[in-house]
Structure 1
Amino acid sequence: MDVTRFSGSVYGSIRDGVLVVTIDNPPVNALSTDVREGLCRALDHAVSLEGAAGVVITGAGRVFVGGADIREFATPPVAPILPDVTQRIEQSDKPVVAAINGAALGGGAEIALACHGRVASAAAIFGLPEVKLGIVPGAGGTQRLPRLVGTAHAVEMIGSGRSVKADEAKRFGLIDALADDAVAEAVTLAHGMANAPLRRTGELAVVPADEAETEAMASKVLAKARGQVAPAEAVRLVRAAALTSLEKGLADERTTFLRLRDSDEAAALRHVFFAERQAGKVAKLEGISPRPVVTVGIVGLGLMGSGIAVSALTAGYCVIGVEQTDDDAQKGRTCIVGLLGKAAQSGRLTPDARKACLQRLATTADLTALSGVDLAIEAVFDNLAIKTDLLQRLDGVVRPDAILATNTSYLNPDELAAATIHPERIVGLHFFSPANVMRLVEVIDCAATRLDVLATALAFAKRLGKLPVVCSAAEGFIGNRIFSAYRREAEFMVEDGAMPEEIDAALEAWGFPMGIFAVNDMAGLEIAWARRKRQAATRNPNERYVEIADQLCEAGRLGRKTGCGWYTYSSGEKTVDPQVTALIETARKAKGIVPRQFSADEIVAHLLRSMADEGSVLLSEGIAGSAGDIDLVMINGYGFPAHKGGPMFQARLKRDSHA
């Protein structure tokens, strides 16, 4: 088979009278300048081949096209730009068919939309996730997709960035056929189109819309946007496709794309994207292989331990859960079974997969049942004495080569490790609750942790589908250290005149899903209170300290679990409590503080600065490896809005604006 090279990453060959063009730009066949040039040359070549009935475009490996080359976003555009490529495809006089062999995302989806036909393998997925980078599709996606699937489906897909699998795409009308051999079927389809008028997507009328369904989809997208601009612009552009010509729609889309691409929101989301790519990459682990892990032991089957168990089971591990009594072990099993049931009901888990998970689960009150596990995770109450005692007992139970992980939130794992026989096998795995839902795991590299132990912890977290962020051992790690500083600053403002509900409202208006005092109530006030009591003896008496949170705890106001904390929940809903207001006013008077007003902007600025300042300290101490790691922790563990980039990104943005 003769192969023609159109560029470094695009080549083609004739198959049954059709030019099959393959994009080969690993790892995801991104639409780099070289790929775009190669596609244009391939189309030119097809025109010159009188015997070629048409063109089939496919991807090498398991990906069709994974999207644009995001590294080019910060550089001047180089011709041919993607809108010109999609126009060339759509206007081709010879049929062009996409053979979608895997992911067709972003620009890859736009290439497929511009083709005259689309054939997909069962492994194909299709999506326009640009809103997740703070932009909209810029090469016809918002105008061509509704012409194939209708406005409502297009609003939902583009506005949310959700990807669809091949069978769903076929139901929508997004693809023409499913085939085991997508290329062979695409070649056949190209022949069938060769002597008939071509079905150019841009010339189709938008599929008639059910206005109520479209409005419902738009409302759903906008409700989840939380102040992001891109989803609203995506909805607007999709809806406009039915009201304007393709030419005008494409021009509007391109103008919007360029404006959003240069926005702070897009810069923030690109920062997060690249930070995620770097997360978990530790230079000293290069060449270090993780140990094999088949069976995981989990001690403590409360909400946290049960969530970890579900994550491990759904990732394919065998799990042995241990509690103090048989009754507690049974309660833990019931909790795990319930969480698996909810996952099955929502469609995240098939009935067969749920059954397999249960077959790999055992719960017991016998700690010696963990004698054969490869990894044991303690998830008991965050108390130094309790955790130390448990790890010492595990020392005498598990194999010498088994790894012991602590799920402590605030305690320094180095202190825990120092009390064990083999500190080199201790590692921190700080999950966030609920652990079966939350994506973040702080992986704590203790002073004595062996490299292969750290590598194993990372591999384990990744197999769970988590986002692992590595940090050094210290009390509170990255997240809780910053959260403590953030909470402390919020309490200073309360003492100085801002009310908790004003602070929460300012944060929520800025983009946080929940204000800090509401978060404290949800998490429970007693954990931070215990930490403050531990630190009381060593606290600098000259440092400012706000007693209000302690007074709430002393009054039994521990948050939602007790029906009251910073707010009251007597009606089931969060409500401002006059008793808390009175307590705050009394505390101010006791210190002679004359309360002052804080604007919403001032509140947010204070809190962002406190986070960034603590983040800088973590970097200087070597606790955090990078500013990006800090931002990922705050976004994925503490509700910092991703489209704002994280506290360190915001600090850099502020510095740059004043430079």
Structure 2
Amino acid sequence: MTDKVTQTRIGAQAVLRIDNPPVNTLTAEVRRELLDAFDEAVAAADVTAIVIAASGQTFPVGRDIYDLDRPASPPDLRLLCERIEASPKPVVVALHGTVLGGGLELAVAAHHRIARVGTQLGCPEISLGLPPCAGGTQRIPRLIGADGALDLMLSGRMIDAAQALKLGLVDEVTDLDLEQAAIDYASVCGVRRTSDQRIRMEDGAHFLQSVEAHRAKSGSFVAVKIVDCVEAALLLPMEAGLTLEAEAFAECAASDVAVALRHIFFAEEAAAQVVAKDVQPVRHLGLVGGADVAILALNSGLTVTLVSPDRAEVEDALDHVGAHFEVAVASGMPEVQAVNALSRLSCMTEFAALAECDLVLDQSGDTPDPWWELDGDLPDVLARENIFSMRLQFPARGAKLAEITTHSDTQPETVAKVMQTGRQMGRVPLCVDMTEGGLIETLVSRMEVLMGHLAPVASSDILSAALSDVGLPAAAFTVPTAPLEDERLPVAAVRERLECWLINEAAYLISAGAVTQPTDVDVALVHGLGYARTRGGPILQADRITPFEVVQRIKRFALEDGSHWHAADLLQRLANERQKFRDLKKT
């Protein structure tokens, strides 16, 4: 055995401890070692019960999502869960942290579950367009009924240990030593297989009513499949239900929606790992301008010093922040919370006031004479390589993107610090290199240029419908309403042009080095403009169509529509080499 799973004997109990930091993901290696250790404990004559626990901050959060796009590596999680449930010896799991997805499926396959106070449990698979895959749709309804199971699986939300205890998902909640509590429980409990539990399904009519109520509200393919599987928990034998679940999982995993959701998940992971450095958290943020950023920072618990050499701007910033919290209190924020936030704000006119800050963001905008070049006696924290700007999206559509502008001489640790601060403020930070405007602002502007060309041959209604078909919210654009000369383009034709134009503009930005990797464009559009996650982004769509086909369409549009159509050099190169964006390396 390696250090991924260890086995300790405590009396007559075998404690199997998963240790796969940071979140104990159930990789193939972990599954294999856990199964080997489990079989050894079952075979040992001096072992009367088995405890499965985890080191570190959490019980396993689930399987490795990257495994979905790799060849299968045994043992699969379903087999592991079946082996655990079939154990002739009692199996108790000790739960802490966030017990999600495959981690929860592993837990409900055990005979008993002990959770530490504050543990969070959930089935987030639907956020990736997937149902549970290791018996969750069959075992969880047996423990908590159809209503509870479908609420967890269709919402993807988490519940805490107290709620889980009330539902029957866990057997005991403790604030004492978790592992010892599980060992003590294992010494007195017996075998109780979840597949044999029927008490929550005894009222079959009520169970089916719950199923039908959720089916009527299920608007997506995966939601319908989840409902079907939960229904099977009542109507089919366990093995048949597991088979149905496996078929549903395979069908969903291959769907365009699930592929798109995985794509954007991986793209977000890649964007977040641009700088994988552990840094000290920022507690005191300095701002040069930027009252809106000050509000976000104050709401996230930071101390803020805002500086502007213009006293009128300082007073305006104070008024703006104060007005925000007045409205917040009127809308329900506790007054003491607003007072506390405002007490952490200082507004000054001298740059020296920023000397004690952990990080400084320049929100002053583009100026012909940058302030850092005007003041020759600035504190070290204001060295040019330590200054960033953070471009935020503030529309009502709820965008969360924070475009972080970095510099070539910036240290990786400093980039990590600003990225972490963006996340702390509830934003999705993305490193960009834009000399003018922002990534989202540029893409919106360029899309509006194309719509201006299309306006004489496509009505505003058709343009809006085509935007929605592409995955973009029409409300984010100024859709032209020019008089129609010849309404010759239907929605499908406009959609095709909008999509190819967006892909082409993304290629221009990628080749200019505006982003670190091509998929950053997809992350930006999802979080900065409300692009539909279920479509993944223009980079995914380009690779689905293939750059070669996109270039062929652009050539056709140039003949049909005019000379404003030109394939970006990068897109043309990918087409010539029969490559895709995914073949490009990070810059």
The TM-score normalised by the length of structure 2 is 0.81
Separation of aligned partners in 2, 1:136 and 1:466: 28
Structure 1 contact 296–317 (Cα < 8 Å) conserved: no
Structure 2 contact 16–38 (Cα < 8 Å) conserved: no
- Aligned partner letter, 1:619: I
Match runs of 1:182-261 below 5 Å: 182-194=178-190, 198-201=192-195, 203-207=197-201, 209=206, 222=219, 228-261=220-253
Moved more, 107-116 or 147-156: 147-156
- Residue 41 (structure 2) aligns with: 46
For structure 2, list consecutive stretches of 5 or more residues without a partner in the other structure.
550-577, 579-587
Q: Does 1:131 pair with 2:116? A: no
Using the aligned pairs only, state the percent identity: 28
Q: CA deviation at 1:205?
A: 4.4
Q: Does 1:371 pair with 2:331? A: no
Q: 1:310 aligns with which of 295, 307, 314?
A: 295
- Residue 489 (structure 2) aligns with: 597
The one-character-per-residue Cα deviations of 1:555-611 (angstroms, maximum 9, x if unpaired) are xxxxxxxxxxx6xxxxxxxxxxxxx5xxx21xx4xxxx4331313x33322222111
Q: 2:505 aligns with which of 600, 614, 630?
A: 614
Q: Does 1:9 pair with 2:4? A: yes
SS at match of 2:88: coil
Separation of aligned partners in 1, 2:225 and 2:470: 19
Q: Does 1:357 pair with 2:341? A: yes
For structure 1, list consecutive stretches of 5 or more residues without a partner in the other structure.
223-227, 346-350, 404-421, 522-548, 550-565, 567-579
The one-character-per-residue Cα deviations of 1:170-216 (angstroms, maximum 9, x if unpaired) are 2322111111322222222222223xx62524532445558887777
The one-character-per-residue Cα deviations of 1:391-436 (angstroms, maximum 9, x if unpaired) are 5399659942244xxxxxxxxxxxxxxxxxx654442211111599
Separation of aligned partners in 2, 1:296 and 1:436: 28
- Residue 97 (structure 1) aligns with: 92
Q: 1:436 to 1:645 in 2, by over 3 A?
A: closer
Q: CA deviation at 1:9?
A: 1.8
SS at match of 2:32: helix
Separation of aligned partners in 2, 1:214 and 1:342: 37
- Residue 168 (structure 1) aligns with: 163
Aligned residues: 540
Structure 1 contact 427–453 (Cα < 8 Å) conserved: no
Separation of aligned partners in 2, 1:139 and 1:291: 38
Q: 1:244 to 1:503 in 2, by over 3 A?
A: farther
C-alpha RMSD of matched pairs (Å): 3.5
- Residue 647 (structure 1) aligns with: 538
Separation of aligned partners in 1, 2:408 and 2:102: 45
Structure 1 contact 341–354 (Cα < 8 Å) conserved: no
Match runs of 1:259-658 below 5 Å: 259-282=251-274, 294-297=284-287, 299-301=289-291, 305=292, 308-320=293-305, 324=313, 326=315, 329-339=318-328, 344=333, 356-362=340-346, 367-368=349-350, 371-372=353-354, 374=357, 375-377=359-361, 379=363, 384=366, 387=367, 392=371, 396=375, 399-403=378-382, 423-433=384-394, 438-446=399-407, 453-496=414-457, 498-508=458-468, 511-512=471-472, 514-515=473-474, 518-520=475-477, 580=481, 584-585=482-483, 588=484, 593-599=485-491, 601-655=492-546
Q: CA deviation at 1:371?
A: 1.8
Q: CA deviation at 1:110?
A: 0.3
Separation of aligned partners in 1, 2:65 and 2:464: 35
- Aligned partner letter, 1:230: V
Separation of aligned partners in 1, 2:51 and 2:326: 48
Q: CA deviation at 1:649?
A: 0.9
Separation of aligned partners in 2, 1:388 and 1:255: 62
Separation of aligned partners in 2, 1:53 and 1:161: 36
Moved more, 74-83 or 445-454: 445-454
Q: CA deviation at 1:156?
A: 2.4
Q: 1:427 to 1:327 in 2, by over 3 A?
A: closer
Q: CA deviation at 1:274?
A: 2.0
Separation of aligned partners in 2, 1:633 and 1:118: 41
Q: Does 1:88 pair with 2:83? A: yes
The one-character-per-residue Cα deviations of 1:600-654 (angstroms, maximum 9, x if unpaired) are x333222221111111111211122211111110111111111211101110111
Separation of aligned partners in 2, 1:291 and 1:126: 27
Q: CA deviation at 1:154?
A: 2.0
Moved more, 289-298 or 468-477: 289-298
Structure 2 contact 22–57 (Cα < 8 Å) conserved: no
- Residue 114 (structure 2) aligns with: 119
- Aligned partner letter, 2:221: V
Q: 1:291 to 1:639 in 2, by over 3 A?
A: closer
Q: CA deviation at 1:257?
A: 0.5
The TM-score normalised by the length of structure 1 is 0.73
Structure 2 contact 402–430 (Cα < 8 Å) conserved: yes
Q: CA deviation at 1:335?
A: 0.5
- Aligned partner letter, 1:594: D
- Aligned partner letter, 1:249: G
SS at match of 2:92: strand
Separation of aligned partners in 1, 2:184 and 2:280: 47
The one-character-per-residue Cα deviations of 1:289-333 (angstroms, maximum 9, x if unpaired) are 6896514336353xxx1xx22321233311245763747633431
- Residue 557 (structure 1) aligns with: none
- Aligned partner letter, 1:62: Q
Q: 1:359 to 1:103 in 2, by over 3 A?
A: same
